[in-house]
Amino acid sequence: MNDNSFLAHFERSFKEHWDRPALSDYKGTTLQYKDVARRIAKMHIIFEECRLRKGDKIALCGRNQSNWGVVFLASLAYGAVVVPILHEFKPDNVHHIINHSDARLLFVGDLMWENLNERAMPGLDAIISLADFSVLYCRDEAVRSARERLNERFGRKYPKNFRAEHIAYHHDKPDELAVINYTSGTMGLSKGVMLPYRSLLSNLLFAQEVLPADYRESLVSMLPLAHMYGLMFEFLYEISVGMHVHFLTRMPSPKIIMEAFAQIRPTLIVSVPLIIEKIYKKQLLPLLEKTSVKMLLKLPIIDQSVKKKFHTAMSNVFGGRFYEVVVGGAAFNREAETFFKKIGFRYTVGYGMTECGPIITYEDYSRTPLFSCGRAAPRMEVRIDSPAPATVAGEILVRGENLFLGYYRNEEATREAMTDDGWMRTGDVGVMDSNGYLYIRGRCKNMLLGPSGQNIYPEEIEDCINNKPYVVESLVLEQEGKLVALIFPDYAAAETDGIRDQDLQRLMEDIRVRVNEELPAYSQLARVKIRPEEFEKTPKKSIKRFLYQLPK
């Protein structure tokens, strides 16, 4: 196998795992590796009929499902460039991305298609359903005819059945464009990140190198595949090593996720902090607040037994068979993380960005220090733009094989993101200890200045607020030189405990006072505002801060 080829890993995997299960839609159908390979071959016949050339763009917009994975792999294997689009994007944004990316084909989920307008996407040659690959729109009726006769054409091309030896995919080159991934950031900017094959390959090799081969069996896909975190570590890595991926295919509520974990018992879990924190807050925190448990945790020897019980209970929630839970995409709640470390729960926190496809830092759960997000991943470099990186926070700068080519049709944004000597500005602020472990403080753009020029990181204050009872989430902003906290309360818990809506403001004010007792004088909260609904979030479950800026 050519180790410098990304697609060669998939050729090998399909051939080696031909009869193994590959992709399942939860409580639905399962495709074996040979089924996926056959569907890829059929996709290539459709691409040929559309007169698709290598380097042409194929857009993909819909919920996670097996056919999403088939189209993604088929597109790269053909030599096309994939444009994954988050199904949470508004129709106007989807129209814009398709037009801006110069996409020629669109594969779309049924729910998304209901709100789209083909006339708003004049550059498309065809629109095809992800559900059954039926042609929803085509400029040339020959495409529809080819789809209707697809099985016939497939049979003529492979008269003695499609076999493993027929697999021969595009020969990719390191700096060749593979994916244009449009971001949905907390600051409201959507840019087309151009990722080359070397970035995909480096991320793939990273996962193959750091995750034990003994745990290459199954995974529950919860994160959107249109985002690089989910795409790389809940799909591409798994298929490259012969794992079985289970797509939830629906909104991943904690109830559905827990049900899937219990049934599938995955050997690897990739998550965002919000999911883990909800489990901690709903299932474990009430037990920890009990006086009897607090007393037991203070007693020598006995506390070890109590911790072991919590560890077992938490592990069982996730199916009990996993190597580790990899947490990324947003900041992890410090109180929850401290507890998980105390009970020996197998978790690790990584750090990445779409522009790095996505991994930047990682460390195995057995070695990572508390509150760290690991060390530079293989083939990556990380440094802090600070005179004293271990003590004085500065912007995190990165470079290496994972780095993107730039922003599609946006040279100005590309120049702004890079330093003259080739480092990328992440926009995040952090420190790094003498062993190379990275600790993130917050976003550069979120940082506020205290009355005497002190750096205030709203994320740290929000972390403190979110640990308090009856708080689901919060956002700290500045108004007229004062810090204001917007809080979305846990209305369900308050109602259960007999707390009326009119009493919530007093309760939140009490929380403000308690939080201020834990904060330095320069970062005190002046007031709180209650929100009637939760904050709008990015696919990584980070709050879209730009939507909630307070008027001056």
CATH of the domain at 460: 3.30.300.30
User: Cα(42)–Cα(328) distance, rounded to whole angstroms?
Assistant: 36
> How many helices (H) and strands (E) would you count in the chain?
20, 27
Q: What is the mean pLDDT of residues 240-257?
A: 86
pLDDT at position 546: 77
pTM of the model: 0.85
Tally of CA atoms within 13 A in the half-sphere of 242 that contains its CB: 13
Listing DSSP states for 125-140 in one string gives SEEEETTT--EEEESS
Tell me which residue of 439, 474, 449, 465 sits closest to 519, measured CA to CA.
465
pLDDT at position 448: 77
Among the residue ranges 84-88, 450-454, 455-459, the one predicted with the least confidence is 450-454
Are residues 27 and 163 both part of a single domain? yes
Alpha carbon 287 to chain centroid distance? 30
- Where is the domain boundary, 444, 461, 491? 444
**Amino acid in the structure at residue 35:** D
Residue 243 pLDDT exceeds 90 = yes
Residue 299 pLDDT exceeds 80 = no
Show the tokens assigned to 246.
Answer: 């289970």
Residue 447 pLDDT exceeds 80 = no
Are residues 292 and 161 both part of a single domain? no
pLDDT digits (tens, 9 = 90+) for 156-197: 999 989 999 999 999 999 999 999 999 865 445 579 999 999
Into how many domains does the chain fold? 3
Q: What is the mean pLDDT of residues 223-238?
A: 95
At residue 30, φ and ψ (nearest 5 deg) are -120, 135
pLDDT digits (tens, 9 = 90+) for 99-122: 999 999 999 999 999 999 999 999
Among the residue ranges 55-69, 109-123, 501-515, the one predicted with the least confidence is 501-515
CA geometry: angle 529, 530, 535, nearest 5 deg: 105
Are residues 77 and 61 both part of a single domain? yes
Calculated CA dihedral for residues 110, 112, 118, 123, nearest 10 degrees: -110
% of the chain exceeding 70 in pLDDT: 92
Evaluate whether residue 212 is within a structural domain.
no
Are residues 514 and 372 both part of a single domain? no
How do 126-129 and 103-108 pair as beta strands?
parallel
Evaluate whether residue 210 is within a structural domain.
no
pLDDT band at 301 (very low <50, low <70, confident <90, very high): low
CA geometry: angle 331, 221, 188, nearest 5 deg: 45
Tally of CA atoms within 13 A in the half-sphere of 299 that contains its CB: 10
Listing DSSP states for 461-472 in one string gives HHHHHHTSTTEE
Alpha carbon 259 to chain centroid distance? 21
Listing DSSP states for 235-275 in one string gives IIHHHHTT-EEEE--S---HHHHHHHHHHH--S-EEE-HHH
Cβ-count burial 155-189 (b if 16+ within 10 Å, e if not): eeeeeeebeeeebebbebeeebbbbbbbbbbbeee
- Where is the domain boundary, 154, 172, 190? 172
Evaluate whether residue 230 is within a structural domain.
no
Are residues 395 and 279 both part of a single domain? yes
pLDDT digits (tens, 9 = 90+) for 341-355: 988 999 999 999 999
Are residues 379 and 452 both part of a single domain? no
% of the chain exceeding 90 in pLDDT: 64
Whether the Cβ atoms of residue 491 and residue 528 lie closer than 8 Å to each other:
no
Among the residue ranges 7-11, 157-161, 511-515, 520-524, the one predicted with the least confidence is 520-524
Strand order in the sheet with 375-376: 351-352, 359-362, 375-376
pLDDT band at 77 (very low <50, low <70, confident <90, very high): very high
pLDDT at position 247: 96
Are residues 439 and 309 both part of a single domain? yes
Show the tokens assigned to 2.
Answer: 């050519």
pLDDT band at 518 (very low <50, low <70, confident <90, very high): confident
Evaluate whether residue 257 is within a structural domain.
yes
Question: In 267-426, which ranges are continuous DSSP H helix?
Answer: 273-279, 285-288, 291-296, 302-317, 334-342, 411-417
| Largest CA-CA distance found in the chain, in angstroms, rounded | 78
Q: What is the CATH number of the domain that holds 136?
A: 3.40.50.12780
Residue of higher predicted confidence among 494 and 295: 494
User: Cα(489)–Cα(168) distance, rounded to whole angstroms?
Assistant: 55
Of 428-437, 480-489, 518-527, where does the model show the most confidence? 428-437
By residue range, what is the domain housing residue 465? 447-548
Q: What is the mean pLDDT of residues 50-75?
A: 97
pLDDT band at 452 (very low <50, low <70, confident <90, very high): low
Are residues 287 and 424 both part of a single domain? yes
Q: What is the mean pLDDT of residues 440-453?
A: 74
pLDDT at position 184: 66
Are residues 304 and 336 both part of a single domain? yes
pLDDT at position 186: 46
10 Å Cβ neighbour count for 295?
Answer: 12
**Amino acid in the structure at residue 382:** V
Which residue matches tokens 């839609």? 25
pLDDT at position 221: 94
Evaluate whether residue 197 is within a structural domain.
no
Residues 6+ apart with CB under 8 A from 536: 543, 544, 547
Evaluate whether residue 456 is within a structural domain.
yes
Write down the mean pLDDT value for the chain: 90
Evaluate whether residue 267 is within a structural domain.
yes
10 Å Cβ neighbour count for 398?
Answer: 24
pLDDT band at 442 (very low <50, low <70, confident <90, very high): confident
Computed from CA positions of residues 445, 450, 455, 458, in that sequence, does the dihedral angle turn out positive or negative?
negative
Are residues 423 and 451 both part of a single domain? no
- Where is the domain boundary, 111, 141, 172? 172
Are residues 428 and 331 both part of a single domain? yes
Evaluate whether residue 357 is within a structural domain.
yes
Are residues 288 and 141 both part of a single domain? no
Q: From the CA atom positions of the chain, what is the Rg in Å?
A: 24
